[in-house]
Structure 1
Amino acid sequence: MGSLIPFQDLNLYPDHASTGTSTTTVTLIPKIEPKPEPLDEPLHSPFEKQPFSPNPNPNFPQPNTPISDPNSNSVPNNSLTQCDNLSSDESNVYSEFYRISELFRTAFAKRLQRFGDVDVLDPDSRAIVPVSDENQLSTVVVSPRRKYNQRSSELVRVTDLGIEDQRYFRDIVRRTRMVYDSIRISSMTEDDKRRCLGPVRKTRGDLKAAALMRDCGLWLNRDKRIVGSIPGVHIGDVFFFRMELCVVGLHGQPQAGIDYVPASQSSNGEPIATSVIVSGGYEDDEDAGDVIVYTGHGGQDKNSRQCVHQKLEGGNLALERSMHYGIEVRVMRGFKYEGSASGKVYVYDGLYKIIDSWFDVGKSGFGVYKFKLIRMDNQLEMGSATLRFAENLRTRPLVARPVGYISLDISMKKENVPVFLYNDIDNDHEPVYYEYTSSIVFPPFVYQQVGSGTGCDCVLGCVDDCFCAMKNGGEFPYEHNGILLRGKPLIFECGPHCRCPPTCRNRVSQKGVRNRFEVFRSRETGWGVRSLDLIQAGSFICEYTGVVLTREQAQLFTMNGDSLVYPNRFAERWAEWGDLSQVFSDYMRPAYPSIPPLDFAMDVSRMRNVACYMSHSSTPNVLVQFVLYDHNSVSFPHLMLFAMENIPPLRELSLDYGVADEWTGKLPICN
């Protein structure tokens, strides 16, 4: 296993660290003022009812906010006064105090908490500031709430991760993100159902998913504050929502652009920054990729215009202290991206060192703090740079990469979009020698079971109680944008005998490929597949095609040494997508509709498609989902592939074949 190293004692300055002599430092208690990101929407919980509440979501307290203890001696809501030992004059005084306190809280508490001037224990409490236990009165009403573990202030660095350790942490991050996406998508689908019954308030699925996961203790990296890389998070990983960064522990602030350990929690009384988000929201920011001039927080009005001088406090002071101690920071870039679930995307670009800081006059004429960040060496290419390069490949492939393309469409227009073939390693052109088929080839007898009148009668589009919904267990497998809600043993899509239009929400995988793919040659994995588009988790990718053989035919092919693909050997990764057993104790794995054991093989020695070149992985980013739509033989389903996570452009796609070649880790057909 890797090593979890406690960070160096920050009470020792670098020039004294080697000798062990301490230097007296001045304890700085800065005013905590997060840097708001102008591109982000205000963080409001779907459960918010009180517009003036300092913490709008009672089930989702803000980070670093003290939480009331449900086991404390607070009086329940039905007991407003237990002051029998107080005189009537004293009771009147305290009643007047609570009335004034309530007026004050209503008018100012939300604003004060935003800038960190006060800590609010609970939105239902009558106190603005924390009160010591010995001074608390039993008349204070505190609603019972779950006591969350506050985020740790202990700085550690994770080092020396082996291959198995990396796979372990990657799998944890992947599963956590799947839970997040499943809850978010399901909550939006439930909103759509309620909206059909009448007007309802639209909820933020990203906030609801984060709140529910925090209730269940599923946020990662809360027990330690990690300096440097987060185990299981790779450079280039993309996120559609800020709250997802909090869930995986990459950046702990829902809105603030600087994540740091506050001075009040730091071991030496100084704030320490651990990560920043660069979104271009500050006019004085300069982003050259490997070099960033980052503008500090504060001094902006509600229209994101600089209106006062910035101060060296909070996140600004934390960045300065991280520079002083030589502590690297993680950098995420946020920008608008067409096709994103939120209209924006956040990409992790690696580690940067803060090498300089100064106070300067900004473009608006007000003083701002600036920090120069330099990207550290020996890291993978920045994810944001890869996104820009992939955009050029989609539009001008021969200009972006003049050398290496063998074909600009090996599908010969059989797919909706071209499939590129690229090899700048050797002279192998093998994929062009196969006949490309965009759909699996079944034996003729499979279609003999198709009968008339077996489809739905939905003319304008399928509804929740139609015939096809009932075949799927009473619910549709996809949401309105075609995202898979949760995996099942088998999915019934609307077929040729259904009256619904091609735009029906239950016709997803049968529409074919929508993303632009590239079959490429790699020194490490042989032939592989990558996308030129950003693929959202739960999206359909393509079908795994070939010629279906019965058991007898497969045995003959095996005797001749031909390589076959056996659908029954694919790992049941579909069960992981939408698995909410960690959130709901009564969750049951879908068992309907069920299918018998698949007793056929696929020959890809003559006819195949892009899916046949996907690599094998024990931690894949693609799953196999069995689907029926053009016939009713459950023994011969289509093998449809869906994304298990957000897949950035130019990242290799991988499947869990179940049984792989022991020498290469890939099926023989892909070598």
Structure 2
Amino acid sequence: MDALVPFQDLNLLPHPPISSSSTALLTPKMEPKTEPLDEDNLRLAQSPRHQPEILSSHSSHFPNSHLTQESISSDCESHVYSEFNRISELFNAAFYDRLSRLRSPESPSVPNATSPTPRKPDSGAIVPVPEGCNQASVSRSGGQNRKLDKRSSELVRITGLSSEDEGFFREVVRRTRMVYDGLRILSTSQQDAPASHLDGRRLRGDLAAASVMREHGLWLSRDKRVVGPIPGVYVGDMFLYRMELCVVGLHGQPQAGIDYLTASESSNGEPIATSIIVSGGYEDDEDSGEVLIYSGHGGQDKSNRQCAHQKLEGGNLAMERSMHYGIEVRVIRGFRNGVGASKFYIYDGLYRILDCWFDVGKSGFGVYKYKLSRIEGQPVMGSSIMKFAEALKVRPLEVRPSGYISLDLSMKREAVPIPVFNDIDSNNEPLCFEYLRSSVFPAFLVNQSRMVSGCECPSGCREDCLCAAKNGGEFAYDPNGTLFRGKPLIFECGISCKCPPFCRNRVTQKGLHNRLEIFRSKEAGWAVRTLELIQAGSFICEYSGVVLTRDQAQIFSMNGDSLIYPNRFAGKWSEWGDLSRIFPNYSCPSYPSVPPLDFAMDVSRMRNVACYISHCSTPNVFVQYVLHDHSNMAFPRLMLFALENIPPLRELSLDYGVADEWSAKPMICN
């Protein structure tokens, strides 16, 4: 196009009548639309130079990490997250629109701002990579000299990724989130460590983790400001903390509800909105899912109540300009969370801004409103899936009248029911097996359990007790039962210990508490999915079966029956809590050293829900070896933990190991 069409300042339109009692409030308090108000987030955004204190307080947890102030400062630039710079290699192949530059002051017509503005598919704010750009300069290993304190002003859209590229970026996001969770859990648990401060205040674990990762250049999408989908982030992904959205590049504002490129940064001199957060806490918002009426920012008091007219500037103007140019925005919805954080967030995909108008809000003041419609062809919204899963837990037969072959496969052996659902065929194989809540061990191991020594902690285990010493002088779980980091083996308190059942070192003995469902899948046969959010690092259930010695397994296999061999499970436990990208001298836990697991598990007649979990080389569940009822390290229990946040109705997956000896999952489970 020859020139960008100018826009009309909506502040010039007639404002709603204002009573004399409100004239003193005409000057609005202009600040970003906060979702929700969080002073710690604002302090983090305004004071980025406190991270070395946080790092030094965390390094004491790792005896092999000798991290000093000098090593941190020198490592900040060299430890840039170069992997994600591979995104730059794909810009030449992506579809970018080249547009005209900033319009001249004499631009002619002024459109009617009260009606939908003509859609312009092009915007000078979205620019292509220069044709002469050398790919070597933007390779994965490039960019180490680039500081990431300030976000890039280059606005790009990424399209046409191959399945291989999608898998690569998904793994990048996955590993970045694991580092974030590891730091967050560690910093939250260290209540007695030297406090990290911002203006004299202790920094929350989620903020501390984000701050450390920012200092080390591990925030994603900093080198490019991405319009549209973020590579590696899927519709329906859930985030427990607001700062995690910033870390993965989904929403770059720690506090503001509208993320946008300012006019001074944009190549065409106009602000462009890229994402919004909808939390349902604003009186003028109307959310029906596929269609959304979103109110602008400005004119609110400290309690987020409207006290003055809004102006067409900042994020408000950016939303109007994105509507004018037809630029899509990412929509993230926030929900109240009763399991740790004040809110959790779900990415619901891309929306198009259809209309913008100035209206009288419920408080009687002028408010800018934007009508957004979800772009077709995307996966189902994560928020809709979450609401559907909530209904399934309460009234399953009402929500899905047909398809259930059992409402509780465990027959009340578990604390929560395990339904079995099949709307594909008439197969009811899970009903043919006896449900086994925990593994059955040989008699000689049961006899050994009586000789195991225990701790003397009547009110709960302490850091200096016998069970802590077995684990190398530290407990494996935080007070909430979340696993700090994977280990070769974890010793939990057993029957000889004097500690109560609610001891923090008895996490896996409490059984299944997440609502799971076994379902029939066209791709994987029988599979397992969760009906609720499973937090990263939390215990799910035991992988149960009848334990066989080597001699027993050899005799049993002569009949042609398949067995589960625990030594074939991939060692994904080493990935959970791996902070080697933060602490240069970090080493994976090696204590206690576990001998080769020389046993098998028969699940051909007795099994539990875990036996139906599908195989995946990049799983969301991992196996952690645990001992609590005997001391023979060659026969641990197989406990399953979440490797990432698993949203409702998402399938669970395990890495069963050797591909040439295993099918998609064990033969008996198909």
TM range (shorter): 0.7 to 0.9
Q: Distance in 1 between matches of 2:374 and 2:358?
A: 22
Residue 297 of structure 1 aligns with which residue?
Answer: 297
2:28 is aligned with 1:37: no
2:320 is aligned with 1:320: yes
How many Å apart are 1:592 and its aligned residue?
0.2
How many Å apart are 1:163 and its aligned residue?
2.6
How many Å apart are 1:160 and its aligned residue?
2.2
How many Å apart are 1:194 and its aligned residue?
7.0
2:255 is aligned with 1:255: yes
1:230-309 equivalences under 5 Å are 230-309=230-309
How many Å apart are 1:521 and its aligned residue?
0.6
Spell out, residue by residue over 1:371-428, the C-alpha distance to the aligned partner (whole angstroms, 9 max, x if none).
1000011111111111111111111111111111110111111111111100111111
Q: Distance in 1 between matches of 2:400 and 2:548?
A: 40
1:202-213 equivalences under 5 Å are 202-213=202-213
SS of residue matched to 1:564: coil
TM-score (norm: length of structure 2)? 0.80
Spell out, residue by residue over 1:314-369, the C-alpha distance to the aligned partner (whole angstroms, 9 max, x if none).
11111111111111110000120222x20311100011000111111111111111
How many Å apart are 1:605 and its aligned residue?
0.7
Cα distance change on mapping 1:24 and 1:60 into 2, 3 Å: farther
SS of residue matched to 2:166: helix
Q: Distance in 1 between matches of 2:42 and 2:253?
A: 15
Residue 310 of structure 1 aligns with which residue?
Answer: 310
How many Å apart are 1:191 and its aligned residue?
1.1
* Contact in 1 for aligned 2:29/2:298 (Cα 8 Å): no
Q: Distance in 1 between matches of 2:169 and 2:627?
A: 35
Q: Distance in 2 between matches of 1:508 and 1:474?
A: 18
SS of residue matched to 1:352: strand
Residue 80 of structure 1 aligns with which residue?
Answer: none
SS of residue matched to 2:369: strand
Residue 55 of structure 1 aligns with which residue?
Answer: 46
Residue 525 of structure 2 aligns with which residue?
Answer: 526
Read off the aligned partner of 2:622 and give its amino acid letter: L
Q: Distance in 1 between matches of 2:470 and 2:346?
A: 40
How many Å apart are 1:27 and its aligned residue?
13
Residue 537 of structure 2 aligns with which residue?
Answer: 538
2:429 is aligned with 1:430: yes
Residue 215 of structure 2 aligns with which residue?
Answer: 215
1:289-438 equivalences under 5 Å are 289-339=289-339, 341-438=340-437
* Contact in 1 for aligned 2:30/2:299 (Cα 8 Å): no
SS of residue matched to 2:167: helix
How many Å apart are 1:287 and its aligned residue?
0.2
Unaligned runs of 5+ in 2: 12-27, 53-72, 75-145
* Contact in 2 for aligned 1:570/1:624 (Cα 8 Å): yes
Cα distance change on mapping 1:616 and 1:32 into 2, 3 Å: farther
* Contact in 2 for aligned 1:153/1:266 (Cα 8 Å): yes
Residue 613 of structure 1 aligns with which residue?
Answer: 612
Q: Distance in 2 between matches of 1:592 and 1:448?
A: 26
Spell out, residue by residue over 1:116-147, the C-alpha distance to the aligned partner (whole angstroms, 9 max, x if none).
xxxxxxxxxxxxxxxxxxxxxxxxxxxxxx95
Greater RCO (Cα-Cα under 8 Å, separation 6 or more): 2
Cα distance change on mapping 1:438 and 1:525 into 2, 3 Å: same
* Contact in 2 for aligned 1:661/1:667 (Cα 8 Å): no
Residue 126 of structure 1 aligns with which residue?
Answer: none
Residue 129 of structure 1 aligns with which residue?
Answer: none
How many Å apart are 1:666 and its aligned residue?
2.9
* Contact in 2 for aligned 1:33/1:315 (Cα 8 Å): no
Spell out, residue by residue over 1:524-551, the C-alpha distance to the aligned partner (whole angstroms, 9 max, x if none).
2211101112111111000001111222
* Contact in 2 for aligned 1:544/1:641 (Cα 8 Å): yes
Cα distance change on mapping 1:592 and 1:27 into 2, 3 Å: farther
Read off the aligned partner of 2:516 and give its amino acid letter: F
Residue 570 of structure 1 aligns with which residue?
Answer: 569
Spell out, residue by residue over 1:572-628, the C-alpha distance to the aligned partner (whole angstroms, 9 max, x if none).
111111100000112111000111011111111111110000011111110100000
How many Å apart are 1:59 and its aligned residue?
3.0
Residue 107 of structure 1 aligns with which residue?
Answer: none
How many Å apart are 1:667 and its aligned residue?
2.9
Cα distance change on mapping 1:417 and 1:24 into 2, 3 Å: closer
Read off the aligned partner of 1:294 and give its amino acid letter: Y
Read off the aligned partner of 1:561 and give its amino acid letter: G
Read off the aligned partner of 1:483 and give its amino acid letter: T
Residue 582 of structure 2 aligns with which residue?
Answer: 583
TM-score (norm: length of structure 1)? 0.80
Read off the aligned partner of 2:266 and give its amino acid letter: S
Read off the aligned partner of 1:330 and give its amino acid letter: R
Q: Distance in 2 between matches of 1:59 and 1:36?
A: 26
SS of residue matched to 1:557: helix
Cα distance change on mapping 1:502 and 1:662 into 2, 3 Å: closer
Spell out, residue by residue over 1:65-115, the C-alpha distance to the aligned partner (whole angstroms, 9 max, x if none).
xxxxx99xxxxxxxxxxxxxxxxxxxxxxxxxxxxxxxxxxxxxxxxxxxx
How many Å apart are 1:172 and its aligned residue?
1.2
SS of residue matched to 2:46: coil
Cα distance change on mapping 1:663 and 1:327 into 2, 3 Å: farther
* Contact in 1 for aligned 2:35/2:278 (Cα 8 Å): no
* Contact in 1 for aligned 2:546/2:602 (Cα 8 Å): yes
* Contact in 1 for aligned 2:301/2:307 (Cα 8 Å): yes
Residue 105 of structure 1 aligns with which residue?
Answer: none
Unaligned runs of 5+ in 1: 1-15, 49-53, 62-69, 72-145
Paired-residue identity, %: 64
SS of residue matched to 1:574: helix
How many Å apart are 1:148 and its aligned residue?
3.7
How many Å apart are 1:640 and its aligned residue?
0.1
CA RMSD of aligned residues (A): 2.5
Q: Distance in 1 between matches of 2:520 and 2:586?
A: 43
SS of residue matched to 2:334: strand
Q: Distance in 2 between matches of 1:201 and 1:323?
A: 41
Q: Distance in 1 between matches of 2:3 and 2:460?
A: 73
SS of residue matched to 1:553: helix
Q: Distance in 2 between matches of 1:389 and 1:262?
A: 38
1:588-599 equivalences under 5 Å are 588-599=587-598
